Amino acid sequence: MSENTTNYSRAIVDFLRNIFLPTETARRRSATGDRQGAAKPASRPAVFIALGALPVAMLGVWLAADPVESDRLRLKSKFERPSTIPYPADNVLSAARVDLGRRLFSEPRLSADNTISCATCHKPSQSFTDGQVVSKGVTKAPLRKHTPALWNLAWGHAYLWDGRAPSLEAQAKMPLEHPDEMGQAIEMSATKLVAIPEYVTAFATAFPEQQKIAPESILKALASYQRTLVSPMTRFDRWLDGDPKALSNSEKRGFQTFVGKGGCTNCHSGWAFTDYAFHDVGLDTTGDGRGKVINRPALDHAFKTPTLRELAWTAPYMHDGSMATLEDVVRHYEKGGVNRATRSPDLPRRLDLAERERQDLVAFLKSLSSSRPAHTPIETASSGSTSQASPDGRVTKVGQRDKKFQPTQVSIKAGETLTILNDDSQAHNVFIMDPRLNFDSGWLDPGAQAVIPFPEPGDFEAFCGIHPNMRLKVEVGPNIRSK
């Protein structure tokens, strides 16, 4: 604990001692013959008030002893991850649609010259960005805005930096048909796919009510897949859940600046650290922001607040890709940027950070990212049977029905793998955060499975990043077969 917090808690203890000494201690001291307890016994009402305040005060000491802990408790509910993904009534989220959408996302035949797919610019291996300031599509002409990552979009209301797409379905049509991006009419895409038998089957499964591949089904499948791009649970979430060691002291101090004098939560609020709204943060822009879409010049320099999850993998930053590092971004907020009438009043005024505070803030931002670029899964299970046992009776396959690992504890041997099958109706995830084994299954749709290798013996705990109270204990014994 830092010196500051120690002093702070000592001050509180002193304060409380002043309240209680005249009563409790005085009595005890006189009983033990301690003459130095010179304080006069307090009058009855004072004793009463003091005793009544005891539980409250104790709580106060406990909280005040660690201001970070008190922030955590106070703000926990504000940052808690949701347990379900929202979707529109006319595009029900199903495993078949998500699966099809995942395939289409990487399908270059959706472009004019069969070379560009969504994944060309939104690379799944690079956290759904491409690391460029601006990307290029079929014409090789640089695009006007920076390619954003695609995390946590299911909770948004308006898409693209200026919000001109009202839904993910509507958005998907834009890059498909934009002459500089994929450059192909969606009807032509549907015609190309009809010639590929696997797609005919996959569309029939995902959209049984459609006779043939409809252009809107392409959009619905792409949107369904993107709704499942939920940034995984990170160390920050574990800390929020009550594991004090999940964050370093520097990261905790950074969190305090973030929610405190940084004023960052004015816009980067909620578990995804975005209000999904539009603000002018003082960047030097060409004015092609929200204002042009809704005809409000005051919002010409306003762009959508991005999620701050997975930032470690999504540089460069901002709608124009103008900032190479998170430190550049923090320095921008310190300087305040272009001083114009439309600049958001919610920005911090005169944010003056010491070098250490700046580093702490950046460290905190990085704690919202996975330890390696997160991706999406994975194999689809061929059979629905769960809790398989090996020939000697040990469980090697675990299910996830009813939001529980089933069973909740297994023993295997070093060198063996454990298969987790999502046999639930909801999507899950499997996470192991351990210095010896860092595993992240990514999104585990119903029917999908993850295979986890356990190379070394020891006790491990797996949990679901979406439903963190789903926990599985894995006891890995020494490999008796190895010589």
Q: Does 150 bind ligand HEC (CB under 6 A)?
A: yes
- The token pair at 245 is 């060691």
Q: Choose between 28 and 157: whose C-beta lies nearer to ligand HEC.
A: 157
The b-or-e profile of 432-445 (16+ CB within 10 A means b, else e) is bbeeebebbbbbbb
Omega prior to 378 cis, within 30 of 0:
yes
- Rounded to whole angstroms, the Cα distance separating 219 from 9 reads 57
Site for ligand HEC (CB under 6 A): which residue of 133, 170, 283, 378? 283
Q: How far is the CB of 92 from ligand HEC (least distance, A)?
A: 19
183 binds ligand HEC (CB under 6 A): no
447: left (phi over 0), alpha (psi -120 to 50) or beta: left
User: How remote is the C-alpha of 109 from its chain's centroid?
Assistant: 32
What is the closest distance, in whole angstroms, from the C-beta atom of residue 393 to ligand HEC in the complex? 47
The answer to the question of residue 85 lying near ligand HEC (CB under 6 A) is no
**List of long-range contacts for 290-299, beta carbons under 8 Å, 24+ apart:** 290/162, 290/163, 292/162, 293/162, 293/163, 293/164, 298/341, 298/342, 299/342
Of 310 and 424, CB closest to ligand HEC: 310
Q: Which residues is 461 bridged to in the sheet?
A: 473
**Lookup result for tokens 């347990």:** 83
Q: In this chain, which of 26, 85, 143, 418 binds ligand HEC, going by CB under 6 A?
A: 143
Choose one: 46-54, 113-121, 244-252, 436-444; the region binding ligand HEC (CB under 6 A): 113-121
Q: Which stretch binds ligand HEC (CB under 6 A): 15-23, 64-72, 256-264, 385-393?
A: 256-264
The stretches of 295-403 forming alpha helices (DSSP H) are 326-335, 355-366
Nearest distance from C-beta of residue 212 to ligand HEC, angstroms: 20
How far apart (Å, rounded) are the C-alpha atoms in residues 16 and 19? 5
β-pairing, 417-421 vs 397-398, is parallel
Query: Does residue 160 touch ligand HEC according to CB under 6 A?
Result: yes
Is 102 a binding residue for ligand HEC by CB under 6 A? The answer is: no
How many CB atoms lie under 10 A from the CB of residue 217? 22
Instruction: Provide the minimum distance between the beta carbon of 268 and ligand HEC in the complex, in angstroms, as a whole number.
Output: 5
Cβ proximity of 162 and 288 under 8 Å: yes
Chain positions 286 to 305 lying near ligand HEC, rule: CB under 6 A, are 303, 305
What string marks each residue from 316 to 355 as x (binds ligand HEC by CB under 6 A) or -?
Answer: -xxx------x--xx--x----------x-xxx-------
Closest approach, Cβ 123 to ligand HEC, in A, equals: 10
- Number of residues in contact with ligand HEC under rule CB under 6 A: 53
Q: Identify how many contiguous H helices and E strands the chain contains and give both numbers.
A: 16, 11
Strand partners, 397: 419
What is the Cα–Cα distance from 145 to 305, expressed in whole angstroms? 15
Nearer to ligand HEC, 159 or 460 (CB): 159
Cis preceding-peptide flag for 453 (omega within 30 of 0): no
Q: How far is the CB of 53 from ligand HEC (least distance, A)?
A: 37
Q: How far is the CB of 158 from ligand HEC (least distance, A)?
A: 7
What x-and-dash track marks residues 362-381 binding ligand HEC by CB under 6 A? ---x----------------
- Based on the shown chain and the rule CB under 6 A, indicate whether residue 192 belongs to the binding site for ligand HEC: no
Integer Cα distance of 23 and 36 in angstroms:
14
The amino acid present at 227, given as its one-letter code, is R
Map the footprint of ligand HEC across residues 119-138, applying CB under 6 A. Answer: 120-122, 135, 137
Residue 153 within binding range of ligand HEC, rule CB under 6 A: yes
| Least spacing, CB of residue 311 vs ligand HEC, in Å | 6
159 makes contact with ligand HEC (CB under 6 A): yes
Alpha carbon dihedral 96, 381, 121, 128, in 10-degree steps, equals 100
Among 9, 171, 217, 422, binds ligand HEC (CB under 6 A): 171
Nearer to ligand HEC, 153 or 476 (CB): 153
Query: Which of 216, 217, 215 shows the shortest CA–CA distance to 205?
Result: 217
Sign of CA dihedral 154, 156, 159, 161: negative
Task: Return the number of the residue (37 or 336) whose C-beta is nearest ligand HEC.
Answer: 336
Binding status of residue 181 toward ligand HEC by CB under 6 A: yes
Output 100 or 452, the one with its CB closest to ligand HEC. Answer: 100
Cα 152 from Cα 233, distance rounded (Å): 12
Site residues, ligand HEC (CB under 6 A): 116, 118, 120-122, 135, 137, 143, 145, 147-148, 150, 153, 159-161, 168, 171-172, 175-176, 181-182, 222, 226, 262-264, 266-268, 279, 281, 283, 303, 305-306, 308, 311, 314, 317-319, 326, 329-330, 333, 344, 346-348, 361, 365
